[in-house]
Amino acid sequence: MGILHLSGALTRPNGNDCDIGDSIRRTLRGAAVCLDGGAALYSVSQLGEDLGVSARTIRFYEDKGLISPRRVGNNRVYTQRDRARMILILRGKRLGFTLREIKEYLDLYDVDPTLAKQVRLLLKAVHSRILRLEDQRVALHQTLAELREVEAQAQTALATLQSGSRRARG
């Protein structure tokens, strides 16, 4: 377990910044924490491993402005807030939301401390997504029915061809 020294600007759970020279240690899960009990910090590879995604995926969402890691020297350092945002991003993508919709939702965390706007936006987005999925389900059922009909016709045609060729030989 190596000790790292911070250059400041990292936040403890109580909201206070870690001081210059504060040491951090690695936990069993690979996160780094201030020795005085501060917030967990993750490298890009540690966060990726923890969330089951690649470092490239994390950097992609960083490039899109969805997460904002801090720097310790030349290294990116991700906080619990970044981890929580990544969990929400990954869930949003799994549910079919666009990056724009996810960003709009995440940005409301900083704007509305009551979270009322965020919850209203979430309800609107979820309702819209449900309607789109219901439309897709109807289209999928129609497509499957048509494909089954074509399959049955093809099987009938093949059976007719095979029985006709047997008669011609016999």
**In whole numbers, what is the pLDDT of the chain averaged over residues?**
80
Scanning the chain, the segments in alpha helix (DSSP H) are 44-51, 55-63, 80-94, 99-111, 116-169
Q: Are residues 118 and 60 in the same domain?
A: no
User: How far apart (Å, rounded) are the C-alpha atoms in residues 65 and 134?
Assistant: 31
Q: Look up residue 19 and give its DSSP letter.
A: P
Q: Are residues 77 and 120 in the same domain?
A: no
Q: Are residues 36 and 88 in the same domain?
A: yes
Q: How confident is the model at residue 76 (pLDDT cuts 50, 70, 90)?
A: confident
Range with lowest mean pLDDT among 2-6, 41-45, 115-119, 133-137: 2-6
Supply the pLDDT for residue 111. 78
Residue 25 structural domain:
1-95
- Report if residue 148 sits inside a domain: yes
More confident residue, 71 or 32: 71
Instruction: Give the count of domains, the chain.
Output: 2
Could you tell me the CATH number of the domain that includes residue 4?
A: 1.10.1660.10
Q: Which residue in 61, 70, 74 sits closest to 18, CA to CA?
A: 70
Predicted model pTM = 0.62
Q: How confident is the model at residue 14 (pLDDT cuts 50, 70, 90)?
A: very low
Using CA of residue 97, residue 99, residue 104, residue 107, what is the dihedral sign? positive
Q: Are residues 3 and 78 in the same domain?
A: yes
